[in-house]
Every structure is written in C-alpha cells, then in structure tokens.
Amino acid sequence: MADARQYFALPSPFAMKRGGALQGARLAYESWGELNAARDNAVLILTGLSPSAHAARNAIDDTPGWWEDIIGPGKAIDTDRWYVVCPNSLGSCKGSTGPASTDPATGESYRLDFPDLSLEDLGNAAFELARGLGVERLAALVGCSMGGMAALGGMANHPGFARAHVCVCSAPRAQPFAIAIRSLQREAIRLDPNWNEGRYDDEHYPETGMNIARKLGVITYRSALEWSGRFGRIRLDPDDREDDPFGAEFQIESYLNAHARRFTRSFDPNCYLYLSRASDWFDLAEYGGAPDQATAVRNALAKMKLERALVIGVETDILFPLSQQQQLAEDLKTTGTDTTFVGLDSPQGHDAFLVDTGRFGAAIGAFMAAL
C-alpha cells in the first residue's frame, strides 16, 4: 500500500520552548477533504503518544487509520465538510523530526542530543503546518490524550488560532499517578543495558525495557472492569504455554505479550522517552500568571479566546481521570467558552476513544455538526 504521508518543512530554525532550535525540521502529515475558499473549514487533529499521521484511510493509503470510525465522509468528523489534517507529532518517529532523525549539523542521529521537547513544541509545530497549508484560523482543534495537552499548549501560545476545541481523554496537566507510571516506563527503558544512554541499534536494542514500558502502558490504558469481563481468570490452552515455570498462564498475560510484541520494535525508544517526559512536564497553569494553580488554569483558558469546546472522557480512565475533564469543562465555561461536557461509562479505560467509537463518534459528531 502506498504511503499517504506528505511532509511540511518547519520554519528553520524552529525554536524549542525550553531552549535550543531545530534546523531543517519537518512534520509528516496526512489530510482528508479540501480547504474551502473561505479557508474556514480546517480541523487539526493532535494524536496520543504513539499514533502516526494515518488517522483514516484515504485515496492513496486505503489501510484503516487509528481513528477510522471517526474521520471520513459522513462520519463524526465529516471530511465532506471539513478539511482534516493530522500530523505525526514533532519528536515522534513516524516521519516527523525527532530524536531518531538525522541532525543536519552532524549527519548522525540526534539521539539524546535532541533538544528538550515540550508539548508546546508539538502544538506550535502543528500550528505552523496548518498555517503553511493556508489556514488562518482553525474551525476546530481536536486533541486526543497527549495531543489534548499539546493542543492546550498550542492555544496558550497562539490565542485565537482555534475557534473550537475538542478535548478527548486529556487534561491540563498530569497528576502524580500518571507521572509515576510514565516515570517507571522511562526507567524500564533506561535500565535496559541495551539502551546504552540512547546509543542502541537494531542488534543491540532495548527490547526488554520497551516490553515492560509497553505492558505497563497497556495496563493503564485499559481498565480492570473491562478485563474482568473479557479475560476473567481464563487460562491459556496448555499447547499455547511456554515451557517456563513463570511463563504466561492466563489469557491476560498473552494479551499483554501480543501488545508488547507489536510495539517494541515499531516505536523508537528515545522518541518514547522524549514524548513521555514532555507529557509529565506540561502544565497549563504556567500560562495563567497566578500563584494558585486553579486560578492560573482558568486564566490560561480565558486567553485562548475559544468560542466552543467539547470535553469528553470516560469514568474508567485511570491515566487521565474523568474528574480532570469535568474540571476542565467547568473552567472553560467559567471563562466564557460555550462548553459541552460528556462523561461516558465506557469500560475500556483511557483507550475508550479508540475502541468505543460509537459513543465517542456520536458526541463528537453532534458537536462538529453544530459548529
């Protein structure tokens, strides 16, 4: 199948929030639909930590995208009406510039010489892309999970650039439970001797660390409720068991194994570390100019000049708890944004936005249709 990615050259140098700048950096992106003459129908989608720009199938790449049920003609984000753009995040490894890319100054991979990455850099870069495509103002900025924080960061730096915002299973800052999980994921990678301070290669690859990091991710992306119903205490068929007294014995264990196998070699470990740390660092309160964090968040939201917002999440999410989304929605309302809050009881945890697309699609579709 052909590759539908297009590439956008970021302004060079591209200044990074915490210092340093990228030379000759680029974003990979895909798009659906057409920008209209008034240039007011653009929808920008910022992804979670690991997805690529391939959010949905298109004429060039007919494989299903990671949000296939949400984006397309007649779907919740209707590409007959909207010009939809989804970049691979800056700092990622799916075509955009990140720690796995070649540093033009040295001709070698950046690895840990990549400058500190912040979610604001992801948001700023995505906005540059939108501007480069002729968009002066976004009809809607959609941010999923980590992308929701990147969206808030981008809007805090570019007030008024988005008319509407859809915040999907995200938050204005990470709470300590999420930081603890991500810190442990990073530590598992860093403690793998093959990580070697970022200087691994295909033959000496931190497979063990990535395996543990991914399994811990899956555990926190889903929910105990879903797993109790789906796996219970079902054992593996004896024929499927390894000859190892501590090997997988329950279905839940082989499910985790399968998830980890698909991921460990498909995502660059250094990119993972950079994006993970950026997620811990992000705090919208930095933009509020008030010592009290709650006030600071509201101040920051007020500056964004958003007209409308949809904040959606699920009760079973332990990584971005629904209480954070509820508070965000209340804060948006307080600051004058016409805001809809949708709290779903989907059992799939944080990943519900990728799985329970029927309910997410209904809520997002209704919001988008009314824009």
How near is the Cβ of 259 to a copy of itself at its closest, in Å? 11
125 vs 322 by CB, closer to a copy of itself: 322
Q: Which residues contact 22 (CB under 8 A, 6 or more apart)?
A: 10, 12, 13, 14, 16, 97, 115
How near is the Cβ of 146 to a copy of itself at its closest, in Å? 16
C-alpha to C-alpha distance for 346 and 77, rounded to whole angstroms:
20
Q: Does 356 bind a copy of itself (CB under 8 A)?
A: no
C-alpha to C-alpha distance for 262 and 22, rounded to whole angstroms:
31
Between 255 and 284, how does the x/- string for binding to a copy of itself read (CB under 8 A)? -x----------------x---x--x--x-
Q: Which residues contact 85 (CB under 8 A, 6 or more apart)?
A: 29, 30, 31, 42, 43, 44, 45, 129, 130, 133, 135
Pseudo-torsion of CA 62, 68, 72, 78, nearest 10°?
-160
Pick the catalytic residue: 192, 317, 331, 351? 317
Among 188, 278, 329, 344, binds a copy of itself (CB under 8 A): 188
Q: Is there a cis peptide before residue 13, judged by omega within 30 degrees of 0?
A: yes
- Quick check: is 145 catalytic? yes
Q: Does 292 bind a copy of itself (CB under 8 A)?
A: no
Q: Does 173 bind a copy of itself (CB under 8 A)?
A: yes
296 vs 364 by CB, closer to a copy of itself: 296
- Quick check: is 350 catalytic? yes
C-alpha to C-alpha distance for 51 and 116, rounded to whole angstroms:
21
Quick check: 19 and 115 in contact, CB under 8 A?
Answer: yes
Pick the catalytic residue: 50, 92, 145, 276? 145
How near is the Cβ of 215 to a copy of itself at its closest, in Å? 5
Nearest to 170 by CA among 195, 153, 188, 194: 153
Please give the structure tokens belonging to residue 272: 């993972």
Q: Does 216 bind a copy of itself (CB under 8 A)?
A: yes
Pseudo-torsion of CA 131, 9, 87, 325, nearest 10°?
-60
296 vs 342 by CB, closer to a copy of itself: 296
Kindly list the catalytic residues: 145, 317, 350
Residues of the shown chain interacting with a copy of itself in the complex, contacts defined by CB under 8 A: 112, 116, 173-177, 179-181, 183-184, 186-188, 190-191, 193, 208, 211-212, 215-216, 219, 223-224, 227-228, 230-233, 245-246, 248-253, 256, 273, 277, 280, 283, 318, 321
